[in-house]
Chain A
Amino acid sequence: MRTLRLLFIIGLLLTAPLTIVSAQDAAFQSVIIQVDGLSCPFCAYGLEKNLKKVAGVGSVDIDMKAGQAIVQIEQGVDVTDDTLRQAIKKAGFTARNITRK
């Protein structure tokens, strides 16, 4: 009985982080933006800062090699493609394809 209780607690501890991650996934929509013209690390900061200014954007990850900005948008907040394109234009780049997951 004691062993079973211990296994239950260990199982709970192991699965808890997964539950939190999946809850976070559910709270955000992932948007991948292909950014043309992004070719140096120093310029990436302006892109990240301008995207983070958009209301509803939680986090921004830049993939230099792929030329992508991966944006997490809060569920329920309407951030249009046009808004994202404008933010990228303000950073001095050109948005191409926008894919929502």
Chain B
Amino acid sequence: MYYVWTIVLAVGLIAATGGVQAGPITFNSALPVSEGIGILRSQVKLVRKSGDSTVQNRDLAVTTVPVVLAYGASPKLAVFGVLPYVDKRMNLTTGAARIQREAQGLGDALFFSRYTVYQIDRPGDTFRIAPFAGIKTPTGSHNERDASGELPRILQPGSGSWDPFAGVAITRQTLDWEFDMAVKYRMNTEASGFSFGDEARADASFQYRVFPRTLGGGGVPAFVYAVLESNLIWNGKNRAVGAADFNSGGLTWNLVPGLQYVTSRFVLETAVQIPAVQNLNGSALETDWTWATGFRWNF
């Protein structure tokens, strides 16, 4: 456990001193929003999980399309709403047959706000600290069924629960590079006798301008950033009817290389989350890879 934190910290320090910059791809809580400005953001996120050690030999494919709306209520206060569409498909062996169970629909919406409590601006350089807090709401269905009966909770589009979360985002941005960090804790509550384990995350993102190599005078040129992110995610054990599920939860550390094309009106971005460490409990499914690609649009 200690060595994982050491590696994360080392990557962060290397990134900060290596000199680089555009806004994180895999976490959006450090997004800068001016007063009266709206930002629409969406991604297509594909997740593949497998590695089931049981006879069911499960594998899971999840496609998520979250739509994020952000609005600058004041220079320091930004409010966010996230509504995802999810498609989950699981293949598993029951008896002698291999079957697929699936669910599609709206997932759980998130609402949160972020307030900048500390800001230092210099020419071509800014440093900001912004705590945030919000809630995940049960807008997604959590009692979908198929021919085999009610779907397991990890296949349901929603959790059915109201889950508060809070954290803090830190951003240092220069003309050449940007470094973002965010820590977040989400307390997952019970719904219909089941609760997902709590989640704690420590995210870091380092973005370096690779094009144009040197800035010419005048105007707002488009930038291309090379991005390297790190997601350290801890999930607690799920609980069903008060009992812990020892085949759920654990620790995952993703390394996320990516690219961003940034203009004054829009951002195009893509990244692959590669699990570097997966220390999961019991037969919890391991993530093979996650691919995210999307856009942001200023209005």
Contact = CB atoms under 8 A, between A and B. Distances in A.
Q: Do A and B bind each other?
A: yes
Interface of A: 34, 36-50, 53, 61-67, 89-94, 96
A67 B124 CA distance: 6
A92 B75 contact: yes
Given A46-B298, A90-B75, A40 B173 contact: yes
A39 B262 contact: no
A46 B122 contact: no
Nearest to A96: B123
B35 interface: yes
A60 to B, nearest CB: 11
Interface string B21-39: 1110000000011111100
A11 to B, nearest CB: 32
A40 B267 CA distance: 11
A10 B218 CA distance: 33
B174 interface: yes
Interface of B: 21-23, 32-37, 72, 74-76, 116, 119, 121-126, 173-175, 178, 215-223, 262-265, 267, 296, 298
Nearest to A66: B217
Contacts of A45: 34, 37, 264-265, 298
Contacts of A46: 32-37, 72, 298
Contacts of B121: 36-37, 93-94
A38 B123 CA distance: 7
Given A61-B218, A90-B34, 5 more contacts: A38-B126, A40-B178, A42-B32, A46-B34, A65-B175
A47 B252 CA distance: 39
24 contacts: A36-B126, A39-B173, A40-B173, A40-B262, A41-B221, A41-B262, A42-B262, A42-B263, A42-B267, A45-B34, A46-B34, A46-B35, A46-B36, A50-B36, A61-B218, A62-B219, A63-B218, A64-B219, A64-B220, A64-B221, A90-B35, A92-B32, A92-B33, A92-B76
A66 B175 CA distance: 10
A38 B119 CA distance: 12
